[in-house]
Structures are given as C-alpha cells and as structure tokens.
Structure 1
C-alpha cells in the first residue's frame, strides 16, 4: 500500500513539473519568435520553424519527465535484479560481468544509430511542411499552369524519402529486441544452471525468487533503452527549442522618450547618407541615399524591379538595419525611438493586404480602441459602403475581393490618423477600375498627411509633388515628375524616367499631359 501511494504521488509530482516546464519553454520560444527581426524569417524556411514549434514541442509535451522517471526506475530494477540473483547464487557474478558489458555495447550502438536516424527523419520532414505551405499559397498558379500531377509526384517523392528513415528506425528497434531477448535468455539460463547445481544449498524458495527476477530483466533492459532513447529525442528537441529562445530579438527600447508626446506631429522625413543591406557579406541594396520629404508632400518612389524601392519602406519601419547614415522623422532619429512607438506612428497599405479571420470590425480595430461609429465612418470614407463592422471575414479574407481588402487596409490607415502613410505598390495586383477607385479615395481622404507611394504603375505617381528615382540602389533622380521627364544629362547619360514613360507606348502622351497639368496647378 505504501509503495502504491508513493508511486502515485511521484507520478503526479513528475507530471505536474513536466507540464509546467514544457509550458514555460513554449511561452519563451513564442515570445522570442514574434520579436525576431524579419531577416530571421528570410533565412529560415517556414517548414523548419513549424517543425520546431509543432514536432519538437510535441516531443517535449509527450511525457518527457515521465520517460526520465521510468528510465531511472528501470535502471534501478535491472541493478536490483542482478544483485538479487548474485546474492542467491554468487556464481552468477561470472555471467553478470559479460552480460553488463554486452548490454552497454548494444545500447550504445543502438542509441548512436537511432539518434542519427531520427535526425535524418526530422531533417527530411521539414521540407514537407514547407512544401505544404508553398502549395497552399500557390494553388492558383499550380492549377493555372497544369502542374498538379507534378506537385503530387514531388510530394510523393518527399514522403517516400522521409518514410525510409522511419522504416530504418523501426528495423533498428527489432534489431534491439532480438539482442535483448538473447541477453535475457542467457540470464535465465545461467540462473537456472547455477540454481540446479546448488539446489541443496539454495532451496526452492530462493530459486523461485531468483528466476522470477531473471524473467523480468529482458523487459526492463528493453524499456531502459527505448524510453531513454525517446527521452534523448526530447533532449534534442529541448536544445532546438532553447536555440530559438536565445536568438537576439529586435531592439525594442529607445533612448528618446516620446510616450507623452504627439509624434510625429508634422510628418517630415529625412534620409541622410543611408546605406542598407540584408546581410553583411552581400552588397548593399540602397547606397548612400539622401533626400528630404516635407510635411504633407506626396512622394513617389519609382524604379525598375530590384532597384531598392521596397527596401526603402522596410528601413522606415526598422525592418532592415542601416549600415550607414540616419533616418529622421520630425527631427528624431528613428533608431533611438522605441520600436512599438515607431511602427504604430506609421500607417501602410501593402501590396498584399493582411486580413485576418473574424469580422470587419476586428480587422479594423483589433485592440478595441475605437467606437462602433468611428469604425462605420472609416468604412464609408474608404468607399466600403456594402460592408458593415459585423460582416464576417474568412481566413486571409478569401471572401473579399482584392480591391476590398486593399480598401479595408485604407480604412484601417484612416482610423489610425497617423501623419505618414506608406503605399507599397498597393495597386499592383488590382484591376484598373479598382485602381481608379482606390486612387480617388486616397486623394479625397488623405488630407495633409505625408504620403510615400512605392509605384508599380506610373500613373499613380505622376501627380506626386516629388519623385524619387532609384536605379540599382542609387538615387539617380529627385524632383517634380515633369522636371524629371524633361531633364537632360551631360555626357550622354540616359534619362531613366523618360525611358520608363516611353514604355507605355500610346498611353505616354496622357501621362505627360497629366504631369504638365499637375505642375501647372501646383504653380498656380
């Protein structure tokens, strides 16, 4: 009875401590993951991260503390068995030494092999998670190009490759069981032999006692190795999870205290000799760029693909660390501002709008900081008259059109009332009609905010106050659209902006006329 109570309370204590430890490690990992810089997610595929958050955490959750407890208990049981048999029949000591050495060699060989097999199984499982994620995000393109069979076959190859190591692991388990059964048979045979040869001295009671223990040694040895191997897998998982808890997060704190100030209150942006790069060993993507955006200006950022337009936006949010230079908003160096304060002081309409499952209201105001009336007014200002705050939104906003999702992001930006609004090629994925509605809504509702527009279509920025023209990370043009178009360069240098306009063919005349009309209205 005492043993039963002891084991019961030991099991409760072990399980409770194990669950608490698992929960604490999981919370620390997630807390760190959400604060890691964007460069971490560029370097690490989603499958690898999911593997650690799911499979490794499951290894930790599935009774790792219980496994350690059982391992210790079975080791003590094996030692007690050998001791008991040796006490009953001292000659068994001659067999115990070789049996222990054989057991030590078998478990060492098995554990080293299985450890490598499990590592390979885990390594080949991560690409499967990534493959699923890529397939789900690109299912439209896969169907459009008729690549369904190719993707199915590719998945089959990856699964077969992964299953090879699972099969090898199962084979290794059978190899272990056969050898442990052999060792167990040796122990029982030796116990029986010494018992029979010393029957008169030992007596039937002690012989039965010794044989009873001998029959349990195989099971105990098998449990020791298998459970400890599973515990080792848990140790590896803990090590991998703790690796994520020790990664350096983004620097959240700042040296400038702006908590009780309205910042920015004007919307002036200054780039001073800014050089940006994603990795130290790679060349910079933006090189020694300097310019000033005055409060309330509409500034278009244009250039060919890969010229550094989106990198400029990322630097404003401190998603890329500066190699050189400074970025100032209203005279304050943004590297000295608390990161949450900086990012909540800016509003953005991205090229791929972010919409969550829930309602229109929860997407507009996830923290419940605004009234129902304010949300409804923001929807009307964004030209979303057919939606209400209670309209349900499915995962990723799949029940809304691309244009509606963009306008929803605009309503969210209008609700924030920030002095700076960034449009990161917001109309690149919409049809011309939706593009027109979005542009008209922005012009009507933006007011005196500073507007940065990263442009894919030139007609969205020809009415800008200033254009920034980037080429291979360098600022090669800065000024009013019509001035950039008519500018001539010494030494036969090409006018890159004029080349971009010329690519529009018959539509270029309308663009040029629009630039001239805007310049005339600005001077007037």
Structure 2
C-alpha cells in the first residue's frame, strides 16, 4: 500500500514535469504562423487548467482508487467469512458496476472534451478585453463585450453542467447529509445496485443465522462499527429508535446490542456498496482527466522551427 502510493506520487511528479516541459518546448519551437492561427486562450488553457489536472487531479484520483480497492478487499473478506453465500451476489453485482462505469465513461469523456474546448474562448476573450480595455471604453462598447463573455460562459456551462449533475456526490456537514446523493443517473444506478446487494445479504444472513459463529460475528461487528453512515431504523432495537428527525450515527449505538447475524452482514454490505460507488466515481474522474493529457500532447505534432544548429549539421 505504502509503496504503491509512493510510486503514484513520485510518478505523477515526474510525468507532470515531463509533459509540461514537452508542452513548453513545443510552443517555444513553433513558428509565428502557429501563434497567428492559435488563440491565446488555447495556450492559457493548456498551461493552466490542463496542467493543473495532470498535477493534482490524476494522482489524487489514482490514490483514492488504490485506498478504496484495499478497503474493499478487507470488507469483502470479512463479509465472506460472516456470510459465504453473499459471494454469489457480490461477484455479479461487481461486474454490473464495471459495466455501468464503462457505459458512463464513454459519454462523460466526450462532455469533458467539449467542456475543455469551450473554456478556451473564455480565456481568449478575457485576454483580448484586458489588452483593449482603453479602446473599449473609448467607444462605449462595454456592454457588448460583457454580453460576449456571458455567451461564452453559457456555452461552456452547457457542456459542464450535464457532466456535473451526472456524477457529482453531495457531502454535507453532518452524518445524515453525507449520505444523501444528488439525484443523478450514475448515483441512482449505483444506489439501486447497492440496495440489491443489501437485500440479498439480509436474506442470506437470515437463512444462515444458525451457522454463524460468535467469533466471526464479533469480528464483523467490530469492523462494521467503523461505518459512519446513519443506521436504518429496522436494524436498531426499540430502545434506540429515534422519535423523529435524522437517524443516529452507528458509532452512537455501540453499547446497544444489535440483532445478531443479519445486522452485521447488512452493515458490511452498506460499506461494500459505498466503496464500490466511490471506486466507480474515482475511476470515472481519472478517465475524464486523462483528456487533459491528450490535449497537452496535441501540440507535439505541430510544425516546429528549424533547429538553430542546422547550418553546422549541413542539412535543410
């Protein structure tokens, strides 16, 4: 775990520096015709937003995926020890998670490209407006330039907003609001699959409650108490059921005896579904940000100036 995280961190630094150096070298070696045909906003976008995604977003996403994968393996091992038959449901649902992720990424990456392309005209317009501010004021054209900026921003939001509402998970200040999700396509599908897993685990746990050993149940209870999501009302004994409002966090009911067998299995399945959802979201974010690498490397294929040493080498 430590070695892989260290490799991702160091590899991200080396890759980011090399990509930035290649981009800078390509731009500086480009002829004047390149700068005449390329808006300044495209260059600003590459050197700011795209490089920032390579520096921060991609390494952070890979580290999140790594931590969630190890956490998923840990929870799955304990879950299979507590209820072995859950594996019959866990494996197919994992495949469905992967299918949903691959199905969504196909459109999400295209929206990411459209959003990146539509961001460059905003930078170009802002740069040109700042440079010609005196002339704009002299002719009284402030309102026209403001409207042009608004139209460019609206066009950028047309590509950004669908991708945002399709993946974004909302997190709040308390435990109850952290569990709520933005009503989006990806979140709805992942939550639906998670509910299927919890239902299957509860049914299998009830059917095999006689075979569960006290040691395995104790291990599962100890591990499930790490869960910070609110506890569903049906899992609690009558002494701790709330009279109204939000459900208490699981850590607040540690002294209370939960229903054995089925409860610990369902609690572990809640962790599995949450981890799988975050793995899908993290992997989707990484694939979306890979678009920044593609856009940075686009300038490597542009025409370059002749090398300064061509006379000494005797070539044309």
TM-score, structure 1 normalization: 0.44
1:135 to partner: Cα distance = 1.2
Partner residue in 2 for 1:187: 197
Deviation at 1:148, TM superposition (A): 0.8
Correspondence 1:245 to 2:239: no
CA distance in 2, matches of 1:116, 1:242: 17
Q: What stretches of structure 1 of length at least 5 have no aligned partner?
A: 1-5, 259-332, 337-524
Matched, 1:217 2:227: no
Aligned residues: 255
Corresponding residue for residue 228 of structure 2 = none
Alignment CA distance shift 1:207-1:195 (3 Å): farther
Q: CA deviation at 1:255?
A: 4.9
- Residue by residue over 1:318-340, the C-alpha shift from the partner in whole angstroms, topping out at 9 and shown as x without a partner, is xxxxxxxxxxxxxxx9x96xxxx
The structure whose Rg is larger is: 1
Instruction: Tell me how far 1:198 sits from its aligned partner.
Output: 0.6
Q: 1:34 to 1:95 in 2, by over 3 A?
A: same
Change (3 A) 1:154 1:255: closer
**What does residue 133 of structure 1 align with?**
127
Structure 1 or 2: larger strand share?
A: 1
1:179-328 alignment runs, 5 A limit = 179-207=189-217, 209=220, 210-257=265-312
1:64: Cα distance to partner?
1.9
Identify the residue that residue 63 of structure 2 maps to in structure 1: 69
TM-superposed CA distance for 1:238, in Å, is 1.4
Paired position in structure 1 for 2:143: 149
Question: Cα RMSD between the aligned structures?
Answer: 2.8
Q: Which has the higher contact order (CA 8 A, sep 6+)?
A: 2
Corresponding residue SS for 1:251: coil
Cα pair distance change 1:213/1:140, threshold 3 Å: same
Greater share of residues in helix: 2
Distance 2:90 2:104 in 1: 21
Q: Quick one: structure 1 residues 26 and 221, their matched pair in 2 at CA, closer, same or farther if it must change by over 3 Å?
A: same
1:7-406 aligned at under 5 Å gives the runs 7=2, 10-78=4-72, 81-82=75-76, 84-173=78-167, 174=182, 175=184, 176-207=186-217, 209=220, 210-257=265-312
The separation in 2 between residues aligned to 1:17 and 1:94, in whole angstroms, is 38
User: What are the ranges of 5 or more consecutive residues in structure 2 without an aligned counterpart?
Assistant: 168-181, 221-264
Task: Name the counterpart of 1:306.
Answer: none
**Which residue in 1 is equivalent to 2:236?**
none
Check 1:169–1:67 CA distance in 2 against 1; reply closer, same or farther (3 A cut). same
Report SS of the residue matched to 1:199: coil
